């Protein structure tokens, strides 16, 4: 049976005087790909910030493997395997591909770094071919692969991604989504924030829809794909 690994309960959070999340709750179970959908400004990135520790909740609880981690630092959460691949990729433009893989990575065991770099190049041969190239000179798609490869260097027990398909050509998007399926098939649960709802729902076991800081729908990927209301609002269908 699936067990809960991460949850947030009744989270209220925001910036300055404004609340962005109004008592939001969600969970990710072992083995799952969970999609978090919603329009611009709905609070998706803020939600990931709450989970990764970059945004402090005003009220509510974040639980990881059964433990309250609401007040744990970003570094602490990273050490425990809660890894975020951030919005806009955020690779280091002046560092080489290989330096990017090492920098900004939580290294549990430095002796394992060469092995993990080899594994990254096995999974993403294009990065191996370009290991000496500066991150900033990679194409958008290559930068996203690098951002995912870098996140994997931290050996996530949960991989969270913020709009990995943003601005990429359809073929590259397909490649990114198939990589996520592959990572999940190897045992890593995935929490995926996406505007590309159609593709995200196709690979998600479960999904949530966020609208101005409130969860308005939850269901299996299939249920949401089949919902007229969701099609109209997020999938461009009628």
- Binding flag, residue 143, Mg ion (CB under 5 A): no
Q: Which of residues 185-214 bind ligand ATP (CB under 6 A)?
A: 195
Out of 20, 24, 43, 45, point to the residue binding Mg ion (CB under 5 A): 45
Contacts with 226 (C-beta within 8 Å, 6 or more apart), sequence order: none
CB of 74 to Mg ion, least distance (A): 17
Which one of Mg ion, ligand ATP, none interacts with residue 42, CB within 5 to 8 A by kind? ligand ATP
> Considering only 37-45, 114-122, 134-142, 168-176, which stretch makes contact with ligand ATP by CB under 6 A?
37-45
Q: Which of 38, 57, 86, 156 binds ligand ATP (CB under 6 A)?
A: 38
Query: Among 8, 24, 45, 224, which residue interacts with ligand ATP (rule: CB under 6 A)?
Result: 45
x-marked contacts with ligand ATP along 13-32 as a string, rule CB under 6 A: --x----x------------
Span interacting with Mg ion, options 41-49, 91-99, 147-155, 217-225, rule CB under 5 A: 41-49
**Cβ 145 to ligand ATP, closest distance in Å?**
21
Residues 6+ apart with CB under 8 A from 72: 53, 80
Residues at the contact surface with Mg ion, assessed by CB under 5 A = 44-45, 87
Residues at the contact surface with ligand ATP, assessed by CB under 6 A = 15, 20, 38, 40-46, 195
């Amino acid at each position: 049976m699936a067990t809960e690994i991460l949850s947030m309960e009744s989270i209220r959070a925001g910036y300055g005087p404004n609340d962005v999340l109004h008592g939001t709750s969600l969970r990710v179970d072992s083995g799952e790909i969970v999609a978090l959908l919603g329009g611009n400004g709905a609070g998706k990135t803020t939600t990931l910030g709450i989970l990764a520790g970059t945004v402090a909740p005003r009220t509510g609880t974040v639980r990881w493997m059964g433990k309250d981690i609401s007040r744990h630092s970003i570094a602490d959460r990273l050490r425990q395997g809660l890894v975020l691949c951030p919005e806009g990729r955020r690779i280091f433009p002046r560092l080489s591909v290989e330096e990017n893989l090492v920098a900004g990575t939580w290294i549990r065991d430095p002796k394992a770094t060469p092995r993990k770099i080899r594994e990254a190049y096995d999974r993403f041969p294009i990065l191996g071919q370009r290991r000496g190239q500066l991150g900033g000179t990679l194409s958008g798609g290559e930068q996203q692969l690098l951002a995912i490869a870098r996140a994997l260097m931290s050996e996530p027990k949960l991989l969270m991604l913020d709009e990995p398909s943003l601005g990429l050509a359809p073929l590259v998007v397909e490649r990114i989504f198939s990589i996520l399926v592959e990572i999940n098939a190897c045992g890593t649960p995935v929490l995926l924030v996406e505007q590309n709802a159609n593709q995200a729902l196709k690979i998600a076991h479960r999904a949530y829809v966020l609208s101005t800081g409130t969860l308005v729908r939850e269901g299996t990927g299939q249920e949401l794909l089949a919902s007229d209301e969701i099609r109209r609002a997020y999938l461009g269908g009628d």
